[in-house]
């Protein structure tokens, strides 16, 4: 990998800026070889909760016609007992592991975070923005005071870096500032956006859960905006997520202030080589504009 692509976020050293987004694969050991084959610079797990979750009944994913997905999977995972075997599989491949942590109370987030650290995670990503699970996630991320308490509890207990994944809300800037104040070392911006789709012949919503989270190309400009405004106000380490299909999408987020990016829906639409293609495109971009490293371009649009 080209040395000019090296970057760091939340004290994690990465060979290049492109990792997977939580939610595609990532809670069973047998998933690891597939994820590593994508060429990611770090492995991000699916969200783990304290107890096992079965998830929602199908249909849980709708492939939309404009490079987007609508999903309500329900955070299926084996619970904290599944953390250690998954972490061991990732560590055996020599990549940093970021464990996505979910919960329905501050104590549950704390329990899962501690278990993730004990299992060997290099960082945790607090999922405070899942739009389709009632009682958790989104509710925590929308209330700056609760978000502060949650992150304060976790960051003061674990030694590994805490990353907070936030979605779109009218208090995005306030919440971002509060979780950074509480000890978050980085932010992942953004998560899927609450949405729904209806079958015009059956008159019924496509998803069994009725509504879900919209991802892919349709939310990319929102992710660029969120990254830009939060970086402008906080200068935080940011992982940009939302509709990253090409190197241009990744470059936009980097110029807006992201130090790394996550790819999710593009793996469904563009296939398993999309991460490698994005990294190769970023190399060509650096060469074409005469930049020495990706790091010098982080937030460069704020200086133009």
Q: Indicate the domain borders of the chain.
A: 3-302
Predicted TM-score (pTM) of the model is: 0.95
| pLDDT above 70 for 12 | yes
Q: Largest alpha-carbon pair distance within the chain?
A: 56
Active-site annotation, residues: 130
Partnered with residue 188 across adjacent β-strands are 165, 239
Asked if residues 123 and 90 have their Cβ atoms less than 8 Å apart, the reply is: no
Quickly count: other Cβ atoms within 10 Å of residue 28's Cβ: 15
- Quick one: average pLDDT of 49-56? 92
| CA distance linking residue 57 with residue 207, whole number of Å | 9
| pLDDT above 90 for 210 | yes
- Quick one: average pLDDT of 119-141? 75
- Quick one: average pLDDT of 46-55? 93
Asked if residues 179 and 161 have their Cβ atoms less than 8 Å apart, the reply is: no
The band of 132, judged by pLDDT with boundaries at 50, 70 and 90, is very low
Angle at alpha carbon of residue 133, lines to 150 and 226, rounded to 5°:
65
pLDDT by residue (tens digit) across 240-282? 999 999 999 999 999 999 999 999 999 999 999 999 999 999 9
Task: Round the average pLDDT of the chain to a whole number and report it.
Answer: 94
Those residues with Cβ within 8 angstroms of residue 192's Cβ, 6 or more apart along the chain or in another chain? 71, 130, 131, 167, 212, 213, 214, 215, 219
Asked if residues 98 and 124 have their Cβ atoms less than 8 Å apart, the reply is: yes
pLDDT by residue (tens digit) across 152-178? 999 999 999 999 999 999 999 999 999
pLDDT by residue (tens digit) across 79-124? 999 999 999 999 999 999 999 999 989 999 999 999 999 999 999 9
Q: What CATH architecture does domain 3-302 belong to?
A: Alpha-Beta Barrel (3.20)
Asked if residues 35 and 26 have their Cβ atoms less than 8 Å apart, the reply is: yes
| CA distance linking residue 139 with residue 127, whole number of Å | 11
The band of 26, judged by pLDDT with boundaries at 50, 70 and 90, is confident
Angle at alpha carbon of residue 241, lines to 255 and 56, rounded to 5°:
170
Q: Provide the percentage of residues in the chain whose pLDDT is more than 70.
A: 96
């Amino acid at each position: 990998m080209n040395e000019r692509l090296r970057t760091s976020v939340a004290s994690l050293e990465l060979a290049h800026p492109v990792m997977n987004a939580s939610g595609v694969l990532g809670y069973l050991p047998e998933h690891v070889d597939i994820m590593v084959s994508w060429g990611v610079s770090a492995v991000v797990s699916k969200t783990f909760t304290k107890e096992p979750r079965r998830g929602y009944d199908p249909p849980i994913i709708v492939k939309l016609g404009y490079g987007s997905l609508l999903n309500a999977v329900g955070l299926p995972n084996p619970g904290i007992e599944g953390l250690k075997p998954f972490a061991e599989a990732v560590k055996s491949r020599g990549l940093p592991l970021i464990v996505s942590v979910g919960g329905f109370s501050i104590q549950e987030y704390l329990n899962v975070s501690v278990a993730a650290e004990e299992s060997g995670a290099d960082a945790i990503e607090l999922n405070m923005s899942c739009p389709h699970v009632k009682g958790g996630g989104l509710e925590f991320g929308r209330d700056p005071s609760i978000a502060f308490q949650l992150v304060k509890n976790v960051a003061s207990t674990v030694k590994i870096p805490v990353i907070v994944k936030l979605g779109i809300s009218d208090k995005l800037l306030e919440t971002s500032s509060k979780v950074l104040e509480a000890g978050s070392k980085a932010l992942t911006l953004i998560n899927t956006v609450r949405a729904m789709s209806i079958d015009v012949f059956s008159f019924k919503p496509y998803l069994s859960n009725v509504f879900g989270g919209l991802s892919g190309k349709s939310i990319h400009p929102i992710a660029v905006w969120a990254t830009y405004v939060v970086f402008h106000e906080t200068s935080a380490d940011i992982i940009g997520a939302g509709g990253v299909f090409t190197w241009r999408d990744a470059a936009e987020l980097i110029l807006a202030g992201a130090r790394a990016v996550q790819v999710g829906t593009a793996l469904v639409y563009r296939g398993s080589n999309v991460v490698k293609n994005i990294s190769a495109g970023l190399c060509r971009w650096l060469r074409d504009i005469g930049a020495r490293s990706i790091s010098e371009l982080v937030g460069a649009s704020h200086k133009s």
